[in-house]
Amino acid sequence: MSPEILKAAFADNLNFAVGRPAEIATPEDWYQAIAFSVRDRIMHRWVRQFEKRNAPDVRQVAYLSAEFLPGPHLGNSLLNLGITDNARKALAGQDLDLYIGLEEEPGLGNGGLGRLAACYLDSLATLCYPATGYGIRYEFGIFDQSIKDGWQVEVTDKWLLPGNIWEIKRPNFAQVVKIGGHTETYTDEHGAFRVRWIPDRVVVGVPYDTPIVGYLSDSCVLLRLWSAEAAQSFDFADFNRGDYYGAVEEKVFSENISKVLYPNDEQLEGKRLRLEQQYFFVACSIKDMIRLCLRRGSTLERFHEMFCVQLNDTHPAIAVAELMRQLVDKYAMPWERAWDITRRTFSYTNHTLMPEALEKWPLPLFGSVLPRHLEIIYEINRRFLDEVRTRFPGDEGKIARLSIIDESGEKYVRMANLAMVGSHTVNGVAALHSELVKTQLFPDFHDLDPKRFQNVTNGVTPRRFLGLSNPGLTRLIDGRIGDSWLSNLDRLRELEAFAGDVGFQQDWMRVKLENKTRLARIIRDRTGVVVDPSSLFDIQVKRIHEYKRQHLNVLHIITLYQRIKHDPRLQITPRTFLFGGKAAPGYFMAKLIIKLINSVAETVNQDPAVRDLIKVVFLPDYNVKHAQNIYPAADLSEQISTAGKEASGTGNMKLSLNGALTIGTLDGANVEIREEVGAENFFLFGLTCEQAARLRAGGYNPGDYCHGDPELRGVIELIDSGLFSHGDRDLFRPITAHLLERDDYLLMADYRPYVNCQQEVDHAYRDRHHWTRMSILNVARMGKFSSDRAVREYADNIWKLKPFAPEA
């Protein structure tokens, strides 16, 4: 698409869609005009593919996810369409990057899980798989984080306020969803015994569609997000009686369902509204698939041939019971047949072993929201447990563990067991995690049917996280190995040949320095802290969680601080420690860790004795947009979770892909990253998963580690002395007391190995050529972690899905 054509398109859209004369157009107006022009081009592709996508023999994947975190669309869509340079030319002197930067991102997810879903949509589109991502159009996404006095403050995310150009409302495909009430039996016209659900209320789900275009592939996938509306938004009967508020009440009540994203990562929020959200989007999506299946002239007997449905964690697991309800109650299919179709339709990805994330709903609550589903789940469970009993007669313990209903105390519906029973395949998200899913999480299910278990190691899209975020490095790589690596990441291997090339290393260092200089400016503008771009940028960006151990990182910082204070002539590699991440609003310890980081930053950054050898920064409001500025500037990537706790991680991949070296434990995908990049190019420390388990089993006493290590003791004492809290000795006591008394995440045991490993990092960074060689090798060996590879594995091994050729 030539610059002239784009120029005309921008002008047309400024005129017709935005309605502003060029002379007075603001940057926001220009952003809109460009976005409309890009959307037009995506729509063109979308419409052109319509018939192919909807051909009777085309099988589709439906990716059901309560979270999608796509990031701003404009920059990525320009890149994927291959028109960034021409768009720049078309704007002749105007600042395209400024316009791209104006876009509000849809924060419809908490962290890794939602971002993974977005990476998979990018790869599904790029590889031309027919796919739809189904989710919720939250009016308010993840809160914006600001920092006041070192504490996190949550601010409502009003992402829809400026309007959302990328979505198209489709009221003609709206679905009605029932909630609450009771069930009744009746006899149908053929004399058959049937059940119907009489709800308390109904809401309408209206889909909003965002087409996602693939990278230079001409193909699109759809992100279809459901928004809740009242079935009847204004009750004239109430209004005429003079009850104005009553008349709009139902509207407010119904719209609540898609109002706000629950801001917890890896934590169950057992609230009625959350269950309603889950059911709402699942019911709309299943009905939408049934509609599409019937429209294509197929019968529901072939539903599983038309659709495979991936459950992104247990949040959409109610889909198993919903499909059964539709097939049995609405379409009068015999139970056995419906169950066979259901089992062939679903597959389930587990994303966490954290017990607090495993969803279970109190039975009375579940029954009051979904009375018919509870009956269906009982029947699924009864039949399933009968089978188990024939295989393991008399093993009541096993039956209790496998049951979808937890009856050990107060009764619960276990969503993971429902997902397991209703799926043909379950997978974990990294090799280690998939092993732990078999051995720790679902050992009884594994005994029952080991063939059902698979691993698909996560991947990330190199388009957004290298091509778009790091244009300098992209150009440098293109210059050596051509540009086809962006859709075939294994080709980065060709960079290995240049790892020792001094000229290439210098270019590599130059690009990194430019990226760091840019980030240093952002840090200064957003926090007021001045950092030196030539210092080592040591970065930990991710949700704040005790298991991710941001506070272990802080213990190291205080260790260095202590050393510098004790020895005024000490020479260490100057470092900038950068943190970013949100804490769940109700997670006290995580919020206190943010306060600790900011308090240590305040003390250390101002202390002249530190001689600027270390700087500590907490960059507020970590989100996709900010991540894109941070990854390219990282020298060191902190992946320091307690072994066995991080299912995979994906930030670890993005940072390494941008040339950061990892300091990490043998946890999640770190294990595979280390395998790929080579042990000599990875800073490993800490307990393994088995060692951690043994330590705990043997009666772990964290206090012993502290008392046996004067330096560690000094660090803890310094925190308790009130030095970082204006003399308040109690402020951080919940953290230090927990570390000394319980230390669930084994920081005390891993402290010394971590600090020693950091010393190796310090030394390694002094040899810049060697460091750069390691950095190049990290990038060269990241091919495995492309989401294209992951999506192909899902398609081949789980979904049995074929790409379609987008060109007619």
Active site residues: 351, 542-543, 548, 650, 654
Q: Pick the stretch among 110-118, 242-250, 688-696, 698-706 that binds ligand GLS (CB under 6 A).
A: 110-118
Of 322, 317, 309, 303, nearest to 376 (Cα)?
A: 322
Nearest-angstrom CA–CA distance, 414 and 385? 14
Site for ligand GLS in 455-474 (CB under 6 A): 458
Q: In the bound complex, what is the minimum distance in angstroms from residue 317's beta carbon to ligand GLS?
A: 14
Q: Pick the stretch among 77-85, 111-119, 203-211, 673-681 that binds ligand GLS (CB under 6 A).
A: 111-119
Count of residues binding ligand GLS (CB under 6 A)? 17
Quick check: 221 and 212 in contact, CB under 8 A? yes
3-state SS of 499-530? CCCHHHHHHHHHHHHHHHHHHHHHHHHHHCCC
Options 72, 111, 133, 632; binder of ligand GLS; rule CB under 6 A: 111
Q: In the bound complex, what is the minimum distance in angstroms from residue 638's beta carbon to ligand GLS?
A: 14
Q: In the bound complex, what is the minimum distance in angstroms from residue 662's beta carbon to ligand GLS?
A: 15
The owner of tokens 């700087």 is 615
Options 357, 376, 415, 617; binder of ligand GLS; rule CB under 6 A: 357
Q: Pick the stretch among 112-120, 222-230, 390-398, 533-541 that binds ligand GLS (CB under 6 A).
A: 112-120
Site for ligand GLS in 420-439 (CB under 6 A): 429
- The answer to the question of residue 122 lying near ligand GLS (CB under 6 A) is no
Mutual angle of helices 27-48 and 74-81, in 10-degree steps: 50
The owner of tokens 């010394």 is 752
Q: Pick the stretch among 465-473, 646-654, 658-666, 766-774 that binds ligand GLS (CB under 6 A).
A: 646-654
Options 470, 474, 540, 650; binder of ligand GLS; rule CB under 6 A: 650
Query: Smaller CB distance to ligand GLS: residue 350 or 681?
Result: 350
Angle at 61 between CA 59 and CA 64, to 5 degrees: 155
Q: In the bound complex, what is the minimum distance in angstroms from residue 262's beta carbon to ligand GLS?
A: 12
Options 175, 352, 403, 599; binder of ligand GLS; rule CB under 6 A: 352
- The answer to the question of residue 649 lying near ligand GLS (CB under 6 A) is yes
Helix (H, G, I), strand (E, B) or coil at 616: strand
The DSSP secondary structure of 21-80, one letter per residue, reads: -GGG--HHHHHHHHHHHHHHHHHHHHHHTHHHHT-TT--EEEEE-S-B----SHHHHHHH
Phi, psi dihedral angles at 791 (to 5 degrees): -65, -40
Query: Smaller CB distance to ligand GLS: residue 351 or 625?
Result: 351
Q: In the bound complex, what is the minimum distance in angstroms from residue 651's beta carbon to ligand GLS?
A: 8
Site for ligand GLS in 518-557 (CB under 6 A): none
Site track 694-723 with ligand GLS (rule: CB under 6 A), x = hit: ------------------------------
Nearest-angstrom CA–CA distance, 548 and 580? 12
Helix (H, G, I), strand (E, B) or coil at 184: strand
φ/ψ region of 128 (left if φ > 0, alpha if ψ in -120 to 50, else beta) reads left
Site track 253-292 with ligand GLS (rule: CB under 6 A), x = hit: ------------xx--------------------------
Q: Pick the stretch among 106-114, 222-230, 409-417, 558-566 that binds ligand GLS (CB under 6 A).
A: 106-114
Nearest-angstrom CA–CA distance, 576 and 536? 6
Options 351, 398, 464, 575; binder of ligand GLS; rule CB under 6 A: 351
Q: In the bound complex, what is the minimum distance in angstroms from residue 457's beta carbon to ligand GLS?
A: 10
Nearest-angstrom CA–CA distance, 367 and 199? 12
Quick check: 639 and 647 in contact, CB under 8 A? no
Nearest-angstrom CA–CA distance, 535 and 570? 16
Options 546, 646, 676, 788; binder of ligand GLS; rule CB under 6 A: 646
Q: In the bound complex, what is the minimum distance in angstroms from residue 119's beta carbon to ligand GLS?
A: 9
Nearest-angstrom CA–CA distance, 699 and 596? 29
Nearest-angstrom CA–CA distance, 359 and 93? 53
Tokens representing residue 308 in the block: 């495979």
Q: Pick the stretch among 6-14, 275-283, 602-610, 642-650 that binds ligand GLS (CB under 6 A).
A: 642-650
Rg of the chain, C-alpha, whole Å:
27
Quick check: 311 and 348 in contact, CB under 8 A? yes
Q: In the bound complex, what is the minimum distance in angstroms from residue 459's beta carbon to ligand GLS?
A: 10
Nearest-angstrom CA–CA distance, 359 and 412? 10
Query: Smaller CB distance to ligand GLS: residue 357 or 640?
Result: 357
Site track 165-204 with ligand GLS (rule: CB under 6 A), x = hit: ----------------------------------------
Which residue sits closest to ligand GLS, CB atoms considered?
112
Q: In the bound complex, what is the minimum distance in angstroms from residue 696's beta carbon to ligand GLS?
A: 20
- The answer to the question of residue 639 lying near ligand GLS (CB under 6 A) is no
98 burial type by CB count under 10 A (0-12 exposed, 13-18 middle, 19+ buried): exposed
Angle at 80 between CA 74 and CA 82, to 5 degrees: 100
Nearest-angstrom CA–CA distance, 540 and 646? 14
Quick check: 670 and 649 in contact, CB under 8 A? yes
Site track 656-695 with ligand GLS (rule: CB under 6 A), x = hit: ------------x---------------------------
- The answer to the question of residue 322 lying near ligand GLS (CB under 6 A) is no
Quick check: 440 and 101 in contact, CB under 8 A? no
Residues that bind ligand GLS (CB under 6 A): 111-113, 116, 265-266, 351-352, 357, 429, 458, 646-650, 668
